[in-house]
Chain A
Amino acid sequence: MVTINLAMAVLIAVLYAVGFFLLMQRSLMRVLIGVVVLGHGTNLLLQLVGGPPGRAPIVGSAPNDAFADPLPQALALTAVVITFALTTFLLALGYRSFVLVGHDEVQDDVEDARIARQQIQDDEP
C-alpha cells in the first residue's frame, strides 16, 4: 500500500482553490496568476502521483525497486513547457487589450446582453 504525503496533498488543494478563485476574477492579470498557480498545483499533483521519491531511474545504477517513477516527471516537464508558453501568450493578450481598450478586464458577452435587453423592451407594452 502506497501512502501519500499529507502536506503535499493539502498544499495542492490550497493551490487549486487559489487558482480557481483567481480564474473567476475580471482582471486578466489576476486570471494569469490564477493559471500559473493552478499550473503549479497540477504539476505538483503529477509529482505526487508518481509515488515516493527514489533514485534517478538509470538502468543498472540501482536496484529496480529503488527508482523514482520517471513517467510523471516527463509528463510534468511537458506540462511546464505548455503552461509557460500559454502564460506568455496571456501576457501578450493582456497587453494588447490594454493598448486597444485601455484596460485588461474580461467582459461579458455584449450581443447576449443586447438580446436580453431587447426581450425586456418587447415585453413592455
Chain B
Amino acid sequence: MSGLASESSALGTLLTLPVLLPMLGAALTVVGSRSAALQRIVGIVVLVAVAAIAAVLLVVADHSGPIVEDLGGWAAPIGIALVADRLSALLLLVSTLVTLAVLVYAIDQRITDYGRGTASTTFHPMYLMLCAGVSLAYLTGDLFTLFVAFELMLTASYVLITRRTSAKRIRAGMTYVIVSLMSSLLFLTAVALVYAATGTVNFAALAGRMELIPPGLRTILGLMLLVVFGIKAAIVPLHFWLPDSYPNAPGPVAALFAGLLTKVSFYALLRTQTLLFPREGPWTLMLVLAVLTMLVGALGALAQNDLNRLLSFLLVSHIGFMLFGLAVFDAASVSGAALYAAHHITVLATLFLVSGLITRRTGTVALDRMGGLLHEAPVLAVLFAIPALTLAGIPPTAGFVAKLGLLQAGAAAGPWPAVVAGVVILASLLTLYALVRVWVRVFWGGVKPPIPDDDPNDEVAVGTARSSVPMYAATAGLIAASLAIAVFAGPLSALTGRAGADLINREPYIAAVLGTSR
C-alpha cells in the first residue's frame, strides 16, 4: 500500500479539487463573513477555478480514458475512488458554469446579504457546500460516497430554501425537507442491502459482483435505487414535492435547484443502472415511467397560473425525456440522454432566472396579473423567447439537437420505443403550447401596472423597473452557453456518443478503477 500514494499523479490531485476548493471556499466565507466583498470574490474565484479544472478533466478524460484517484492511497475497491469519465466531466463542466452564472445573478440581486452590502453567514458557505456536493456526486466511484455527496448537497439546499423564511416558504420548505430526508434514509437502506448482498460499495467492483447474486435480489436492489433516485429526480409518480417547493424559493435558488439537483439525481440513476444493472434491449418499466413523467408534467404545466410553478411542471416533464433515453438502453439513446441532461441544466436555470427578472418588474408571479411587457421591456422578451424556444426544442436550438438524438435512438430501437418517441414529440408540443400561453399573457396584451412589494422586508425586490446589468448579463451568459451547445452540436454529440458507448460497454470504467490495484 505504501507505494500507492506516490503514484498518484498531478492529474489525480486535480480530480480532488472540484470537491475540495468549494469546501475551502465555504470555510473562508464563514471566517470572512464580515466582508461581503470577500465572500463574493471567494465564491466567484472558486467557481471559475472549478470550471477550468472541469474543462481540463473533460479534455483529458476524452483523450485518454477515465481519470481515477484513490483517496488516501488505498486502492479501489478497498479505498474510496474518485473517477472522472466523459459523462461526469461533461456534466461537471456544465453544472459549474451554471452555478457560476447563478451566483453572479444572486449577488447582484442581493439575496446573498442581510441588507445592502452587509454580509450574511449562510448564503455563500451553503452555496459553495452545495457545489462541493454536486462535484462529489459526479466524481465519486462508490455508492456510499454518493450518499454522502447527496447529503452534502441536500443539507445545503435545505438551508438555502428555508433561509429567512416567510410563513409561505416554511410550509414549502417542510415538504421539501421531509420528502428528501425520507429518500435519503431509503438510500442508506439500499446501500446497506447492496453491501449485504455483495460485500462492496465500489461501483466498479459492484459491476462484477452484481452478476453473481440471484436475479430476483438484483432486481429488488435495482428497483430500490430507482425509487431513491426517482424521488430525488422527480419521476412521476414521485414528483409531487417539486412543483410545491421550488417555486417558493428565491429566484436564483430556484434556478440553482431546477438546473442541478434533479439532474445530479438523474446522473446517479444513469450511472447505477448502466453500470450495476445492465440489460439487453429496452426497459419496459422505465418506458412507462418516461411516458407518465412527460405527460403529467406537460399537462400539469397547462393548469398553472403561477409562472414558477408552470416552469417546475415543465422541468418534471422534461425529466421524462432523459428517462426515455435511459429506458431504450443502448449506446445511442444513453448518449442522447447525456446530451439532453447537459442542455436541460442550462435551459431550466436560464428560464428560472428570466422568471426572476420578470417577477422583479411585475411584482407578481401570477400570469393573469401581468401583461404588455413586450413594449415595456423588449430585452426581457428576447431573454425569455430564446430559452423558451430551446426548451420546446424548435430547430435550430440546442433543445432540438438534444431531442433529435433521443428520437433517432428511440425510433431505431423497436416498435414500443418508437411509440414513446411519438409521446416525446407530443410533450414537446404541449411544452410549446404552455410557453406560448406564458408569452401571450406576460408579453402581449395591455400594460398592467406593477404590483407593489407586499413584503418589503423580503430580500427579493419586486415591482421595480430598475434594470440591473449583471443580472441581465448572467442570464444572457447562460443563453449564450445554450446557443453554444447548438453551434457545437457536432463535436458535442460526438463526445456524448463516446460517453454513451462507454456507459453501455462498462469495460473502460471498470478497468480504469480496478486496474490500478492490479
What is A's interface to B at a CB cutoff of 8 Å?
Answer: 19, 23, 28, 31, 35, 38-39, 42, 45-46, 48-49, 71-72, 75, 78-79, 82, 85-86, 89-90, 93, 96-97, 100-101, 106-107, 109-112, 115, 119
Contact = CB atoms under 8 A, between A and B. Distances in A.
B244 A109 contact: yes
A32 to B, nearest CB: 9
A105 to B, nearest CB: 9
B185 A39 contact: yes
B155 A85 contact: yes
A23 B192 contact: no
Nearest to A116: B303
22 contacts: A19-B185, A23-B182, A35-B185, A38-B185, A39-B185, A46-B188, A46-B192, A46-B195, A49-B195, A75-B201, A78-B144, A82-B151, A85-B155, A86-B158, A89-B155, A89-B177, A93-B177, A106-B178, A109-B244, A110-B168, A110-B171, A115-B305
Interface in B82-137: none
Nearest to A28: B174
Contact of A93 (B162, B185, B193, B305): B162
Given A49-B196, A96-B170, 8 more contacts: A19-B185, A31-B178, A71-B195, A75-B195, A78-B144, A82-B184, A86-B181, A93-B162
Contacts of A96: 162, 165, 170
B468 interface: no
A115 B304 contact: yes
B167 interface: yes
Contacts of B184: 82
Q: Determine the interface band of chain B, counting residues with CB < 8 A from chain A.
A: 35 or more
- For the complex of A and B, list the 9 residue pairs with the smallest distance between their C-beta atoms, beginning with the closest: A49-B196, A109-B244, A45-B192, A46-B192, A42-B188, A100-B167, A106-B174, A82-B151, A97-B170
Contact of A72 (B171, B174, B192, B309): B192
Contacts of A79: 188
B175 interface: yes
A93 B170 contact: yes
Nearest to B162: A93
B517 interface: no
A111 B306 contact: yes
Contacts of B309: 111
Nearest to B240: A109
B189 interface: yes
Contact of A42 (B162, B173, B192): B192
Given A42-B188, A45-B189, A96-B170, A112 B148 contact: no
A17 to B, nearest CB: 13
Contacts of A19: 185
Contact of A49 (B151, B192, B306): B192
